[in-house]
Structure 1
C-alpha cells in the first residue's frame, strides 16, 4: 500500500469530474440541474475508484519494470481495461440485458477512453518535461 500514489488517485478523481462535465454536453436530455451535478460528482467518484484500482494494480508490478515509459504505458493500459470493465458492468446493471442502449454506449465509452489516453499522455509529457528541467538544473549546479 505504501507504493500507491495518492496524487494519481486525486488526479483520477478530477479527471472523472472532467469526463462527467464533457459527457453532460454529449447528452442533450432535459434533466434537472441537480441531477447533472450528481452525475458529475458520481463520475468523479468512479474516477477515484478507477484511479485506486489502477494504482493498486500498478503497485503490484515488479520493480524491474521501473522504466518510466513502461510504467506509464502499463498504467494507461490498466486504466483503460479497468474503465472499460467498470463502465460495461454499470451498463449491464442499469440496463439489464437490453442491448438496445449499446448504440449509445459505444460512443460514450470511446469518448471516455480517448480522454483517459490523452490525460495519461499529457501526464507522461509533464513527467518528461520535469525530468529535462531537472537535468538542466543539475548541469547548471555542476557548472557553478
Structure 2
C-alpha cells in the first residue's frame, strides 16, 4: 500500500479521504480480549470510527506484534483466527521507514524507551500525514500527542 492507495481505499463509499486513523496493537488486543480492562471502550471507539467513515490501517510490524500479544494473552487459536479474519489495510514499512525508526529509538529520551514497533508506527503516521491513532496504550498515545 502506498500513500495514494491509503487515501483512495475507504471502508465505505461515503468515507472522505482525509478520515484516516492508524491502528495500534493495543487497540486490537483490547477489542479481541474481553477480559482486557479497556475492552468496552475499545469496542465502542472502533464502532464510532467506522460510523464516522474512517479508513483504518496499520503496519506489518503491528500485525506481527498483535499476533504475538494475542498468542501470549488469549492463546494461539484466537491469535490465528484474528490473523485470518482481520480486515485492516496493511502498510509494509520500507527501508527508509526502518532507518528513520531506528534513529528514533536510538535518540529517544523517554525514560521508558521507545519500542521499535511504535517508532515504525510514528514514522509511518508522519509519512502519510495521519494525526489520528486508535490505541489504548498511554505510552503510544503520549508519543503521538
More helix by share: 1
Larger radius of gyration: 1
Instruction: Report the TM range for the smaller structure's normalisation.
Output: under 0.3
TM-score (norm 2): 0.27
TM-score by length of 1: 0.27
Give the strand-richer structure, 1 or 2: 2
Report 1 or 2 for greater relative contact order, CA contacts < 8 Å, sequence distance ≥ 6: 2
